[in-house]
Chain A
């Protein structure tokens, strides 16, 4: 029998249906892989007993013939999703040993459809980071290394554990979240596929909140088809999230292999940055060529406010974070540090529980919302956000179906290499992805090639609101042309 961990989700589904192997065998294969890959630090909590119980249940259902679309498929869950009875920390000390008494809507839908939980995945603390270096459980290793080098690289962030685990074949797919690029950037750094759906497509209920007007859940997977299968289960209306949209969830998988002939693809000139590595420029051109060969029409477009997206994001996101994170007060759950007064208790708890990056963002958010500064910062940023969204609307109004851009301005870098002296250096990682969150649009990152050092690079496709299907069709064209990439095992 071939190594069960090397299958795609679609292949595993077929093997399970044909009884070539059981979910218990598939699950055990992944549990062994996780054990052998602890050096990557992708999982912060392994749940082997629960995984085997869920796998047995799935096997019984498959035998009975009433299996759900993800029956028996072992997945990893980002530690930002509340899982009933299983510690959920957002990788922050301030949540301590928080054990939810409820399940997030997104994960409950995965279990409804038969998926198996292998454990909880590492991420940047409260999803604030682009390298998975701010986690209280320590950094995650990227399974990819530069050719001929032993240096451990970051997997990107904040969904670094999700991307690393999927790339290292530790789970067949993973949940992730994306506030400024946290699904697409790590996917690009690890040669996995990641999609951030349209704002409102997935329920945010039960996901630890970072910046509520930007946060969206989505999958990281081994192929475009796998991502489509996972998103179908994760998406859907939820009365418990007032921003979740009541639109039927399409069968995203049906979009795979659909012709892209006649589709109009925008190439935004503002994404051509000074000093961008030539390899990324070349890959972008290759991607455009593949889509053209498949029958799409390429047009140059302009998104004039692109350069203001990142600064506007670094007002809006910290402002919302400072408000959302006010709940961590050491009273109702999580860490408590003692103080003589209740104020002192709050201050000591939050100083001891939040890491440096979270403290910094909560403070900047507090500042931009404080009396006398609100108009100059927050209100202005929200106006700029309107302009950023309008750029995209104008482009789509001209008949553009999707926009093609690089996913990141560089390949993966070493742990501790960036952001030490100036936090902005790290923030620039999200320069191509953050516009999409600001406009609430869907975006997918698909592996497209490697740089001269053998590290993966990805391309991003941005779609119209709720037209994820277009992204899956176009993403499949890129995957077919570029192929799929697996790292050489060193762990």
Chain B
């Protein structure tokens, strides 16, 4: 499989990465090189093989349903580019 220029633009938008028109051909070439490389997986017989979900056989640990953290709003907003009080500021989202 390979991707065309329209698909490259669609992927970029899905990934929320702005891509200018003159970057598209270059990206298309790189993505297609990667897709050509992974193409060899199609020759593997995976009939009846379970997909891996956990590399070490272990039970998912469950923690106690208790509050063990919090009251750190100052810490949470400390690195934000724009805040007001304990809120993150963003451009208007809802009309």
Q: Do the beta carbons of A213 and B46 come within 8 Å of each other?
A: no
Instruction: Map CB proximity to A onto B50-75 as digits: 1 under 8 Å, 0 otherwise.
Output: 11111110101101000000001001
Q: Which of A101, A243, A311, A360 contacts B72 (CB 8 A)?
A: A101
* In the complex with contacts A334-B81, A386-B49, A440-B55, A366-B38 CB distance below 8 A: no
Residues of B within 8 A of A334 (CB): 79, 81
Select from chain B the residue with minimum beta-carbon distance to A307: B40
Q: Do the beta carbons of B38 and A314 come within 8 Å of each other?
A: yes
Q: Do the beta carbons of B11 and A311 come within 8 Å of each other?
A: no
Instruction: Map CB proximity to A onto B65-95 as digits: 1 under 8 Å, 0 otherwise.
Output: 0000000100110111110000010110100
Residues of B within 8 A of A398 (CB): none
How far, in whole Å, are A308 and B50 apart by their CA atoms in the complex?
16
Q: Do the beta carbons of B58 and A382 come within 8 Å of each other?
A: no
A239 in contact (CB, < 8 A): yes
**Chain B: interface size category:** 35 or more
* In the complex with contacts A242-B60, A332-B80, A363-B11, A385-B52 CB distance below 8 A: yes
Q: Do the beta carbons of B30 and A366 come within 8 Å of each other?
A: no
Q: Which of A315, A370, A381, A389 contacts B14 (CB 8 A)?
A: A370
How far, in whole Å, are A182 and B60 apart by their CA atoms in the complex?
27
Residues of B within 8 A of A350 (CB): 15-18
Q: Which of B15, B38, B53, B56 contacts A198 (CB 8 A)?
A: B56
Residues of A within 8 A of B75 (CB): 101-102
Q: Do the beta carbons of A424 and B34 come within 8 Å of each other?
A: yes
Residues of B within 8 A of A389 (CB): 52, 55
A39 in contact (CB, < 8 A): no
Candidate in B63, B76, B90 with the most chain A CB atoms within 10 angstroms: B90
* In the complex with contacts A239-B63, A379-B51, A383-B46, A322-B56 CB distance below 8 A: no
How far, in whole Å, are A64 and B80 apart by their CA atoms in the complex?
43
Q: Do the beta carbons of A322 and B15 come within 8 Å of each other?
A: yes
* In the complex with contacts A330-B81, A364-B31, A200-B38 CB distance below 8 A: no
Residues of B within 8 A of A246 (CB): 61
Residues of A within 8 A of B37 (CB): 310-311, 314, 424, 427
Q: Do the beta carbons of B91 and A341 come within 8 Å of each other?
A: yes
Select from chain A the residue with minimum beta-carbon distance to B10: A370
**CB of B10 to closest CB in A, whole Å:** 8
* In the complex with contacts A351-B19, A360-B31, A382-B38 CB distance below 8 A: no
Residues of A within 8 A of B51 (CB): 379, 382-383, 385-386
A81 in contact (CB, < 8 A): no
Q: Which of B11, B19, B54 contacts A367 (CB 8 A)?
A: B11
Select from chain B the residue with minimum beta-carbon distance to A360: B30
Select from chain B the residue with minimum beta-carbon distance to A345: B91
B5 in contact (CB, < 8 A): no
* In the complex with contacts A336-B81, A351-B19, A245-B58 CB distance below 8 A: yes
A189 in contact (CB, < 8 A): no
Q: Which of B41, B44, B55, B82 contacts A439 (CB 8 A)?
A: B55
Q: Do the beta carbons of A332 and B79 come within 8 Å of each other?
A: yes
Q: Do the beta carbons of B44 and A384 come within 8 Å of each other?
A: yes
A14 in contact (CB, < 8 A): no
Q: Do the beta carbons of A347 and B17 come within 8 Å of each other?
A: yes
Q: Do the beta carbons of A99 and B3 come within 8 Å of each other?
A: no
A387 in contact (CB, < 8 A): yes
How far, in whole Å, are A164 and B79 apart by their CA atoms in the complex?
30
**CB of B15 to closest CB in A, whole Å:** 4
How far, in whole Å, are A191 and B11 apart by their CA atoms in the complex?
41
How far, in whole Å, are A186 and B39 apart by their CA atoms in the complex?
28
* In the complex with contacts A350-B18, A440-B55, A384-B31 CB distance below 8 A: no
**CB of B48 to closest CB in A, whole Å:** 9
A484 in contact (CB, < 8 A): no
Q: List 16 A-B contacts (CB under 8 A).
A: A199-B56, A213-B55, A310-B37, A312-B38, A330-B81, A336-B81, A342-B93, A345-B91, A360-B30, A363-B17, A364-B34, A364-B35, A379-B51, A383-B49, A383-B50, A386-B49
* Chain B interface (Cβ < 8 Å from any Cβ of A): 1, 3, 7-8, 11-19, 27, 30-31, 33-35, 37-42, 44, 46, 49-56, 58, 60-61, 63, 72, 75-76, 78-82, 88, 90-91, 93
Question: Ordered nearest first, which 7 A-B pairs have the shortest CB separation?
Answer: A440-B55, A382-B51, A333-B79, A351-B18, A336-B81, A347-B18, A101-B75
11 additional contacts, CB 8 Å, given A331-B81, A386-B49?
Answer: A98-B79, A99-B79, A239-B63, A245-B58, A310-B37, A332-B80, A347-B13, A362-B15, A363-B27, A380-B42, A386-B51
* Chain A interface (Cβ < 8 Å from any Cβ of B): 97-99, 101-102, 198-200, 213, 239, 242-243, 245-246, 305, 307-308, 310-312, 314-315, 322, 326, 329-336, 339-348, 350-351, 354, 359-360, 362-367, 370, 373, 376-377, 379-387, 389, 422-424, 427, 438-440, 465
